[in-house]
Amino acid sequence: MQRMTRQRAAVSDLLAGTDDFRSAQQLHEMLKDRGEGIGLATVYRTVQVMADNGDLDVLRNADGESLYRQCASRGHHHHLVCRRCGATVELDAASVEKWAATVGAQHGFTAVEHTAELFGLCAECTARQQSEDS
């Protein structure tokens, strides 16, 4: 059975109010800042449960860290993520789905899954970057 605890509510709340992909450690940090008493392990556990339920999307950044986000569309979709601030755009990509299915079948593979994520700098971070470079 699934219980609703103060900690779960807090994580859920935080994610509901964020549009960007965040790591478990970032979430933990943010919760502490909010004054929520919560252990890191609990954040990991909570986030994992939510991901299993399909309430959260998970992806791995270039460093291999797991990032979490509550996405608007609950089905399969892809993302365009700012590698700097985590800002995210959800993407539908019928062309990619088709490509994956076709190619998999062509080579006799079964149970084919695919990952397809775009990482870049959002408009804001691009501007910030340029002023830093100067």
Partner DNA sequence: CGTCTCATGCAAACGATTCTCACTCTGCCG
Partner DNA sequence: CGGCAGAGTGAGAATCGTTTGCATGAGACG
Instruction: Please give the residue ranges that form the binding site for a copy of itself (CB under 8 A).
Output: 60, 64, 66, 80, 82, 89, 91, 93, 95-96, 99-100, 103-104, 107-123, 126
Q: Taking the complex as a whole, how short is the minimal distance between the CB of residue 9 and a copy of itself, in angstroms?
A: 29
Counting Cα atoms < 13 Å in the Cβ hemisphere of 43 gives 24
Element (H, E) at 47: helix 40-52
- Determine the distance from the C-alpha atom of residue 77 to the mean position of all C-alpha atoms in its chain, rounded to a whole number: 12
Q: Answer with the entry of a copy of itself, DNA, none that 14 interacts with (C-beta below 5 to 8 A by kind).
A: none
Q: Answer with the entry of DNA, a copy of itself, none that 74 interacts with (C-beta below 5 to 8 A by kind).
A: none
Q: Among residues 62, 68, 108, 116, which one has the least CA distance to residue 91?
A: 116
Cα separation, 31 vs 8, in Å, equals 11
Q: Answer with the entry of a copy of itself, DNA, none that 35 interacts with (C-beta below 5 to 8 A by kind).
A: none
Comparing CB distances to a copy of itself, the nearer of 40 and 104 is 104
Cα separation, 11 vs 103, in Å, equals 39
Q: Answer with the entry of DNA, a copy of itself, none that 73 interacts with (C-beta below 5 to 8 A by kind).
A: none
